[in-house]
Amino acid sequence: MNEQKKRLARLLLEKSYIEGEVTLTSGKKSNYYFDCRSTALYPEGLYLIGKIFFEMISPDADGVAGMTLGADPLVSAVVLISYLEKRPLPGIIVRKEAKTHGTQNYLEGLQNFHAGQKIVLLEDVVTTGGSVLTAVRRIQDAGLKVLEILCVLDREEGGRENIEKQGLKLKSIFTKDELFKFGK
């Protein structure tokens, strides 16, 4: 495992891992919570996530997307890193609800794409995969193709299986077990 990934694991455990009973987006109860935003909004964390994701992205990708709010910094990081690496990938932010004013869109940044282009969907944490599958449908409804899904953390609670049932591939920077192993 490279040093950047080890450093990211330590930052994630320091800034984003919270022990205690919580209710997750899926409605499931858990004895820990992982708030990736805390790490993604920290300068070094944002850089590391963006750099590692960029290196994981298929060369066939035309851009990246993610569900607001958790993926907003992830998408921004990859868009910036891609420009610096001279392989620019535009981004899309997927809204949970359509805007009630203006364009009333679910997708922001769509004007940077055309039908048929291939998108890599970015996610902070995958538990059941429900949120990411909602984002997939919205991207597909806009005429784009989802090439693959990348996440910072796969909690290993059925999300990968649910995503694969839809014919999609999930790659994670860390599984829950890897994060604890490499973050020490």
- Model pLDDT for residues 129-164, shown as the tens digit of each residue: 999 999 999 999 999 999 999 999 999 999 999 999
Q: Does domain 46-174 have CATH number 3.40.50.2020?
A: yes
- Model pLDDT for residues 67-107, shown as the tens digit of each residue: 999 999 999 999 999 999 999 999 999 998 876 766 668 99
23: enclosing H helix or E strand: strand 17-23
Question: Is it true that the peptide bond before 170 is cis, omega within 30 degrees of 0?
Answer: no
Domain ranges for the chain, please list them. 46-174
Task: Please name the residue that has the structure tokens 């868009």.
Answer: 79
Helices 72-84 & 43-56 angle (0-180, nearest 10): 70
Which among 105, 84, 85 is positioned nearest to 96, based on CA atoms? Answer: 105
What is the rounded average pLDDT for all residues in the chain? Answer: 94
